Amino acid sequence: MPITPTYPGVYIEEVPSGVRTITGVATSITAFIGRAKRGPVDEAVTVNNFGDFERVFGGLSADSALGYALRDFYLNGGGRAIIVRLYHAEGGANARPSNATLTVGDLDLEAAYPGAWGNKLRARVDHDTRPLLPDEAQNSLFNLSIRDDETGQIEQFRNVSITPGHPRQVDRVLLNESALVRTTGLPGTRPSAHASPDPGEDVWGDNDPETNTKVADDDQASEGVLLEDDDFIGTGKDTAKEGLYALKKADLFNLLCIPPYLNDGNVDTSVVTAAAKYCEDRRAMLIVDPPSGWNSVEDAIGDPAATPPTGVAGVGTRSKNAALFFPRLRQPNPLRDNQVEGFAPSGAVAGVFARTDATRGVWKAPAGLEATLVGVPQLSVPLTDQENGQLNPLGVNCLRAMPAVGPVVWGARTLQGDDRLASEWKYVPVRRLALYIEESLYRGTQWVVFEPNDEPLWAQIRLNTGAFMQNLFRQGAFQGKTPQEAYLVKCDSETTTQNDINLGIVNIMVGFAPLKPAEFVIIKIQQIAGQVVT
């Protein structure tokens, strides 16, 4: 509000400049969805390196491709990742429980998350507590220690109480502080203390008398069974924010990988279809793995007229926000004596995307001699130039082994990159640049909402949006020698009519000239006749 002068003198008034800087969003936050050995279920958990994944989710598992995909992601330059762990419980009359349980006196404990990892839990109780306060009941405090034998992690909770409403009420303390166990209610009496170990004994060993309580054989949990499409996109998953839609709990992700989870090493086409649609809603890209049955170029081409279609026509989507990479990777499996096996390429490709974004920018195609696949000794199907020439026009991005550099990404088309579709979103870098601009402007113009809708607002919008686009132009993100050739920002009485103003609408027109990758390099060589000197 302007200053109201009341006395003779000098007044200072700060005038807002109208500058509201639009910051570009991250471009390579990658989400991975699938099975894991341990960790929270149906939660979007951020990890920044493979060590974080090992600590929270247990690392590599022979029953899940997710760990291998994340390993390849970090080997190839990946940064931030979002992990969604899914768990499918056993069924039938003889099914084992999902969560391991153990009982210490009247205190019933269960593993914080489902899975066989909980079978290695142990608990210990002692009564070496602080002195009771005047309002605390006798025999109400105890100390609880929890150990995970698999990792060696120990949690200690001192001076917890069985008294309802106590500040250290044991069930609430475990809910808020423990990553290993929960209790479903308060015990009726304080659990008895365990015996002290004899000299030379490990307090967490199988001692006599017992110095701790471990999970009994009858209370051990199941590792779970293979995932199904319902675990990703089943009825109610969207509303409950579970399965694929647990990513609603994440503020932002740019790439999505769903490593193979079926027994045959594939992903349900219904899941691919739903994931591509969800990526369109979230302004993200889906990296699609080739089916395990693609062992040749002919398999990848397939028959689009078959029922169901085979080859690229049968992967489940033709979305402009999806890209398919073929063939699979051949890598040693450290969990099976380093025997060479086939692995899905999505994690490694996502890492190449992240590395290219960091070194060159999201507008650079994540392909070429720089897009090397680290940790990949060979590919499942060696491809020649002619075979690559059959797949590239169909929108299938090939992975090639090139002399001197080894395996590389040698294609940068979306699944709308089929030449017959003539799509404007043919290329991955063009689509990803558009998504980057859209997300950045969406987040950077929230301040506009409820501002007076007239020329002063439009001028501010032009100033701030133009500054963001100019910065991209200076980094080389657009075609053109001048800003006028490279981009436009229009927000005035032409884009926003009086009727729009009456409806509470302000229209901002942003255009850009994207860089297209030099996909085909043609060198023309011609003989010339020597000049005759006269």
Residue extents of the structural domains in the chain:
30-88+226-429, 101-219, 451-534
Q: Quick one: pLDDT at residue 534? A: 62
> Does residue 162 carry a pLDDT above 90?
yes
CA dihedral 98, 104, 105, 110 (to 10 degrees): -20
- pLDDT at position 527: 87
Q: Does position 416 have pLDDT exceeding 70, yes or no?
A: yes
Res 426 pLDDT > 90: yes
Task: Give 101-219's CATH code, choosing from 3.90.1150.200, 3.30.70.100, 2.60.40.4290, 3.40.470.10.
Answer: 2.60.40.4290
Q: Residue 511 phi/psi, 5° resolution?
A: -125, 150
349/109 Cα distance (integer angstroms): 42
- Half-sphere exposure of residue 282: CA atoms within 13 angstroms, side-chain side: 27
SS3 378: strand
pLDDT at 360: 95
| Spatial distance between the Cα atoms of 37 and 110, rounded to a whole number of angstroms | 17
According to the model, what pLDDT value does residue 532 have? 66
* Start-to-end C-alpha separation, the chain: 87
Which residue is it, tokens 């109780």?
A: 125
Residue range 112-122: average pLDDT?
A: 95
CA distance 44 to 243: 10
pLDDT classification of 1: cutoffs 50, 70, 90: low
Once rounded to an integer, what is the mean pLDDT over residues 211-221? 94
Confidence of residue 233 (pLDDT cuts 50, 70, 90): very high
- Residue 15 is predicted with a pLDDT of 85
| pLDDT range class, residue 413, cuts 50, 70, 90 | very high
* DSSP strand pairing (255-257 vs 30-34): parallel
pLDDT level of residue 529 (50, 70, 90 thresholds): confident
User: What's the burial of 140, exposed, middle or buried (CB within 10 Å: 0-12/13-18/19+)?
Assistant: middle
Mean pLDDT of the chain: 94
Name the band, by pLDDT with cuts 50, 70 and 90, for residue 533: low
Each residue of 345-392: pLDDT tens digit? 999 999 999 999 999 999 999 999 999 999 999 999 999 999 999 999
- pLDDT one-digit tens code per residue, 11-47: 998 888 888 999 999 999 999 999 999 999 999 999 9
Q: What is the mean pLDDT of residues 218-234?
A: 95
CA distances from 88 to 49, 92, 181, 256, 267 (A): 26, 13, 20, 21, 16
Residue with tokens 């219904």: 270
What per-residue confidence (pLDDT) applies to 161? 95
- Identify the DSSP state of 303: -
Structure-block tokens of residue 314: 């049968």
For residue 531, pLDDT over 80 is answered with no
Return the C-alpha torsion angle 261, 262, 263, 264, nearest 10: -110
Is residue 244 over pLDDT 80? yes
CA angle, 33 as apex, 264 and 345 as ends, to 5°?
60
pLDDT tens by residue, 457-483: 999 999 999 999 999 999 999 999 999
How far, in Å, CA of 388 to CA of 370, rounded?
18
- Given a cut of 90, whether residue 230 has pLDDT beyond it is yes
At residue 493, the pLDDT reads 95
Output the CATH code of domain 30-88+226-429.
Answer: 3.40.50.11780
**Amino acid at position 190, single letter:** R
DSSP labels, 222-269: P------HHHHH-TTHHHHT-GGGGGGGSS--SEEE----STTS---H
Counting residues of the chain whose pLDDT is more than 90, the rounded percentage is 90
Kindly give the interhelix angle for 50-57 and 66-75, rounded to the nearest 10 degrees.
Answer: 160
Instruction: Please determine, for residue 530, whether its predicted confidence score (pLDDT) is greater than 80.
Output: no
Say if residue 384 is exposed, middle or buried (CB neighbours under 10 Å; 0-12, 13-18, 19+): exposed
Point out which residues pair with 406 in neighbouring strands: 402
Q: 119: pLDDT confidence band, cut at 50, 70 and 90?
A: very high
pLDDT at 254 over 70: yes
Give per-residue burial for 325-346: e unless 16+ CB within 10 Å, then b: bbbbbbbeeeeeeeeebbbbbb
Say what the pTM is. 0.94
Q: Within 10 Å of residue 157's Cβ, how many Cβ atoms?
A: 17
Mean pLDDT of 278-297: 97
Tokens 């195609």, residue located = 365
Model confidence band, residue 152 (pLDDT cutoffs 50, 70, 90): very high
In the sheet that holds 322-326, the strands lie side by side as: 44-47, 81-85, 30-34, 255-257, 285-288, 322-326, 396-402, 406-410
